[in-house]
Amino acid sequence: MKTVIVFDTEDLEGMKNTAQIIDHLSEKYLGRPARHHNRTFGKIEFIKTLRRFAKDAKDAGEVDPGSLRFAKRFADKIWDDGTGRPRN
């Protein structure tokens, strides 16, 4: 399926609708939202994320919790969630 989407910069409502359509199509066909760059969270959520990371590091066993690979895998789990918050 091919879809052509028009983004008319003179139509504010149309731009908002286009963004929603792109998000919908991305979610449906890619399984994730199109906008990954807009992550926000509060201090408490950040602290909970750090605690989760520490717990995962403690439970890592033979894996080096100080490695870049371990940190990236943890970040991917949170980032792919789509909310920027730790998954329970």
**57 and 32 within one domain:** no
**47 and 18 within one domain:** no
Say how far apart CA 49 and CA 62 lie, in whole Å. Answer: 22
**What does the pLDDT read at residue 74?**
86
Q: What percent of the chain has pLDDT over 90?
A: 6
Number of domains the chain is built from? 2
Q: Examine residue 85 and state whether it is found in any structural domain, yes or no.
A: no
Task: Give the domain extent around 22.
Answer: 1-38
Q: State yes or no: pLDDT of 31 exceeds 80.
A: yes
pLDDT confidence band for 10 (50 / 70 / 90): very high
Say how far apart CA 71 and CA 8 lie, in whole Å. Answer: 41
**26 and 1 within one domain:** yes
**53 and 27 within one domain:** no
Residue located via tokens 């750090």:
50
Question: What are the structure tokens assigned to 57, written together?
Answer: 């590091």
Mean pLDDT of all residues in 81-87:
54
